[in-house]
Amino acid sequence: MGSEKKKEPFSWKQTWQINKRIYRLCSRAKPGFFAGRFAVQVLEVLSPYVTLYCSAQFLNELTAARRREALLWWVLLILGLTAVMGVAGSLLRRLDESANGMKSFWLNWIYGQKALDMDFSKADDARYSDQLVQILQTSNFSGHGIPNFTYQLPRLTGAFFKVLGGIALSASLFTLPVEPRAQGLPMLKVGLVLAVGGILGVLVLSPMLADKSIRAWNAAAEAGRSGNRFFSFYGYQLYAEEKRAMDVRIYRQDLYGQEVDSVNNSWTGDGIFVKLNRGVLGITHGVTQVLSQMMMGFVYLYVCLKAWYGAFGVGSVTQYVGALLSLANGLSELLSIGAEIRGNTVFLKQVLDYLDIPNEMYQGSLTVEKRSDRQYEVEFRDVSFRYPGSEEYALRHVSMKFRVGEKLAVVGQNGSGKTTFIKLLCRLYDPTEGEILLNDIDIRKYDYREYMSVFSVVFQDFQLLDAPLGQNIAASLRYDEDRVLACMEKAGLKEWYQTKAVRGLETRLYQHQDAEEGILVSGGEEQKLAIARSLYRDAAFLVLDEPTAALDPMSEYEVYTRLNDIVEDKTAIYISHRLSSCRFCDEIAVFHQGQVIEKGSHEGLLARGGKYAELWNAQAQYYV
Ligand code: ADP
Q: Is 491 exposed, middle or buried (0-12, 13-18, 19+ CB in 10 A)?
A: buried
* CA 543 to centroid of ligand 1, rounded, Å: 18
Out of 420, 423, 575, 591, mutate this one to test ligand 1's pocket (max ligand atoms within 8 Å of CB): namely: 420
Higher per-residue pLDDT: 218 or 21: 21
Residue 346 pLDDT > 90: yes
- From 244, 217, 219, 222, select the one nearest 233 (Cα to Cα): 244
Residue nearest to atom 8 of ligand 1 (CA): 415
73-77, 315-319, 437-441, 549-553: which has the minimum mean pLDDT? 549-553
Residue 536 pLDDT > 50: yes
* Amino acid 524: pLDDT: 84
- What mean pLDDT comes out for the span 522-542? 90
> 335 — alpha (psi -120 to 50), left (phi > 0) or beta?
alpha
What are 395-453's pLDDT values in tens digits? 999 999 987 888 899 999 889 999 999 999 999 999 999 999 999 999 999 998 889 88
Instruction: Supply the DSSP symbol for 516.
Output: T
Nearest-angstrom CA–CA distance, 55 and 170: 15
Q: CA angle, 36 as apex, 31 and 42 as ends, to 5°?
A: 140
C-alpha dihedral (62, 66, 68, 69), degrees to nearest 10: -90
Which residues does 492 contact at the CB level (< 8 Å), separation at least 6? 528, 555, 558, 559, 562
Higher per-residue pLDDT: 155 or 66: 155
* Amino acid 187: pLDDT: 86
Which residues does 521 contact at the CB level (< 8 Å), separation at least 6? 464, 509, 510, 529
* CA 25 to centroid of ligand 1, rounded, Å: 37
Residue 526, helix vs strand vs coil: helix
Write the CA distances from 183 to 16, 67, 175, 180, integer angstroms. 47, 31, 13, 5
Residue 269, helix vs strand vs coil: coil
Q: Which residues line ligand 1 (CB under 6 A)?
A: 124, 387, 390, 394, 412, 414-420
* CA 419 to centroid of ligand 1, rounded, Å: 7
* Amino acid 161: pLDDT: 97
Nearest-angstrom CA–CA distance, 369 and 367: 6
Question: Around Cβ 393, how many Cβ atoms within 10 Å?
Answer: 18
* Amino acid 170: pLDDT: 92
- What mean pLDDT comes out for the span 24-48? 94
Instruction: Supply the DSSP symbol for 226.
Output: H
Contact 141, 221 (CB under 8 A): yes
* CA 13 to centroid of ligand 1, rounded, Å: 46
Nearest-angstrom CA–CA distance, 184 and 178: 9
Residue 592, helix vs strand vs coil: strand
Out of 120, 122, 385, 387, mutate this one to test ligand 1's pocket (max ligand atoms within 8 Å of CB): namely: 387
Q: Which of 121-135, 364-378, 431-445 is modeled with the greatest confidence?
A: 431-445
- From 9, 35, 396, select the one nearest 212 (Cα to Cα): 9
Q: CA angle, 264 as apex, 270 and 345 as ends, to 5°?
A: 85
- What's the pTM? 0.76
* CA 126 to centroid of ligand 1, rounded, Å: 15
* Amino acid 241: pLDDT: 81
* Amino acid 443: pLDDT: 94
Contact 315, 55 (CB under 8 A): yes
The total number of residues shown for the chain amounts to 624
- From 412, 380, 383, 406, select the one nearest 597 (Cα to Cα): 412
Q: Is 71 exposed, middle or buried (0-12, 13-18, 19+ CB in 10 A)?
A: middle
